[in-house]
Amino acid sequence: MALSLLQMLLGEALIYCRGSGHKSHQMCSREVHPFVWSCYKVIGVFLFGALVCQLLTDCCKYSIGRLRPHFISVCKPEFSALNCSTADDLMRYIVDYTCMGDAKLVHEARLSFLSGHASYSMYCMMYLAIYIQARMQWNRSRLLKPFLQLVVITMALLTGLSRISDYKHHWSDVLAGLSLGAAVALVVSALVSDLFKDRHIYTLPGNDYKKSDDYGSSAQVPPVKGSNLEEVEIK
């Protein structure tokens, strides 16, 4: 999360220094600094999505209660009380047992599905990749933006894979966590945030279009004269 917050703060600072995309707003009869307002909108939505992702992850963990791969080593069951001497008992699923290990560790070992590290890291990095796509513009290189997005997504994937290698999660737990984090990031960025509010529209001469401000009101913009099909940027 720290990397995502730092990158978004840096991005909004660069946009503010260039003097584009920031407007002052009134809150409680007081004027809010444009940079503070922009950071509030971007980071506030990001933290809201993080809360949603964590809430869904905890709901899955505590409602399913899947055992982690290292559950037996943490539980330390009392094997002397288990009868595994006959051939029929070797393949029997044991449900009545007593854990001799630490109760807190045993409780944590029952929360395998889904992976919280995978879901949280994927949400943060996926949202950061979407932020880079929406905010970053550099015409000198076409590969810089996808390269940075590849780096942050790879970091999230490696975080999830590390949970498999240290036997803290099954592969399906990690896959479900990565999917949940990516889904929450996509939904929040598309439906809640205004990262893609600035867009290009194409209109024919003589057709009027309206420009919406942050409060939902609209202002009439005169039609553009020129060729049969022109590109107009709305900011």
Rounded to whole angstroms, how far apart are CA atoms 15 and 39?
A: 11
Q: Determine the Cα–Cα distance for residues 181 and 197; give it in Å rounded to an integer.
A: 23
Q: Could you give the residue numbers annotated as active site?
A: 117, 169
Helix (H) or strand (E) holding 218: strand 218-221
What's the rounded Cα separation, in Å, for the pair 228 and 137? 28
Cβ atoms of residues 224 and 201 within 8 Å = no
CA distance 155 to 195: 23
Among all chains, which residue has been given the structure tokens 């024919």?
204
Q: Report phi then psi at 94, rounded to 5.
A: -90, 120
Query: Which two structure tokens, joined as six digits, stand for 60?
Result: 């899955």
| DSSP for residue 184 | H
